[in-house]
């Protein structure tokens, strides 16, 4: 998107306002938005006025601003678009560098769904994982997408889950899943070893959006025999890719 277009400027202001208002007091001034964007204050003020009239931004009595519901929807739409476009670019680079299949998954109910995939040139994988749901408790992306959730939030997500999977090493209970997630957090990346399917192995890491919330996970997936000896190397690669994508999602649309 052209950053000099009206839409580009508006999205830049929206994502910047979202970033500035993530923490208390959850409001920001024209000056703060302009400073972060490195733009003229009067130009930002005009854009905020337009966004207020459109219902995307709310102007408070002290003349500060916060996102309205429409603003959150627009910023979320931009995040989803960046996950697909910038995510694919980064995954393709990751796949060629590691020579392994790479994916981005998101949470959907108590399952995860692949939304982006990239395969190395020499890959022989048959079919596609795009749109295929897997139970979150045993999927490659499950630990990543629930990375920052509390135990109570995870329990709510998995409340209707039957802890049964084709993989021989799948967690048999909520408590076992939580223990594995705790270990993953301490390690810095997740390891899913024959949980969804026999012989399937993966490492993954969480992706954060402009609000600082986890919205997806990057995974590197392959056979246990091939990936397990390279666990630390691939885990670091997945974590670095997820961090780069998180930085992109947090960046204003200049």
User: How much of the chain, in percent, has pLDDT values that exceed 70?
Assistant: 91
CB-based contact 205:188 (threshold 8 Å):
yes
pLDDT digits (tens, 9 = 90+) for 84-129: 899 999 999 999 999 999 999 999 999 999 999 999 887 666 668 8
Question: What value does the mean pLDDT take over residues 185-193?
Answer: 97
- Quick one: pLDDT at residue 254? 43
CA dist 169 and 176 (Å) reads 11
Among residues 12, 78, 23, the alpha carbon closest in space to that of 48 is found at: 12
CATH T-level fold of 78-250: Beta-Lactamase (3.30.450)
- Output the DSSP codes for 192-222: EESSSSTTEEEEEEEEE-TTS-EEEEEEEEE
**Is the CATH code 3.90.470.10 the one for domain 6-67?**
no
What residues does CATH 3.30.450.40 cover in the chain? Answer: 78-250
Q: What is the CA radius of gyration of the chain?
A: 20
Question: What value does the mean pLDDT take over residues 181-193?
Answer: 97
CA dist 242 and 204 (Å) reads 9
Question: What value does the mean pLDDT take over residues 2-18?
Answer: 69
Q: What is the pTM of this model?
A: 0.77
pLDDT digits (tens, 9 = 90+) for 203-228: 999 999 877 889 999 999 999 999 99
- Segments in the chain forming alpha helices (H): 6-20, 30-37, 41-53, 69-98, 142-145, 151-157, 174-187, 224-227, 231-250
Residue with tokens 């009067």: 42
What residues does CATH 1.10.10.10 cover in the chain? Answer: 6-67
Q: Is the pLDDT of residue 2 over 50?
A: no
């Amino acid at each position: 998107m052209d950053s000099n277009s009206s839409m580009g400027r508006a999205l830049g202001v929206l994502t910047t306002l979202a970033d500035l208002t993530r923490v208390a007091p959850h409001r920001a001034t024209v000056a703060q938005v302009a400073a972060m964007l490195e733009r003229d204050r009067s130009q930002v003020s005009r854009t905020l006025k337009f966004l207020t009239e459109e219902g995307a931004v709310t102007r408070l009595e002290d003349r500060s601003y916060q996102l309205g519901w429409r603003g959150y929807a627009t910023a979320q739409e931009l995040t989803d678009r960046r996950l697909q476009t910038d995510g694919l670019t980064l995954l393709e680079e990751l796949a060629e560098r590691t020579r392994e299949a790479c994916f981005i998954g998101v949470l959907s109910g108590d399952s995860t769904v692949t939304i982006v995939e990239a395969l190395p040139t020499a890959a022989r994988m048959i079919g596609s994982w795009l749109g295929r749901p897997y139970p979150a408790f045993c999927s490659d992306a499950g630990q990543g997408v629930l990375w920052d959730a509390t135990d109570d939030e995870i329990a709510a997500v998995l409340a209707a889950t039957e802890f049964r999977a084709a993989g021989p090493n799948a967690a048999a209970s909520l408590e076992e899943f939580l223990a594995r997630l705790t270990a993953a957090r301490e390690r810095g990346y997740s390891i899913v070893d024959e949980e969804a399917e026999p012989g399937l192995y993966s490492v993954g890491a969480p992706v954060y959006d402009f609000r600082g919330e986890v919205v997806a996970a990057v995974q590197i997936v392959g056979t246990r025999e091939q990936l397990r000896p390279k666990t630390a190397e691939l885990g670091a690669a997945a974590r670095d890719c997820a961090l780069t994508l998180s930085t992109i999602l947090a960046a204003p649309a200049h």
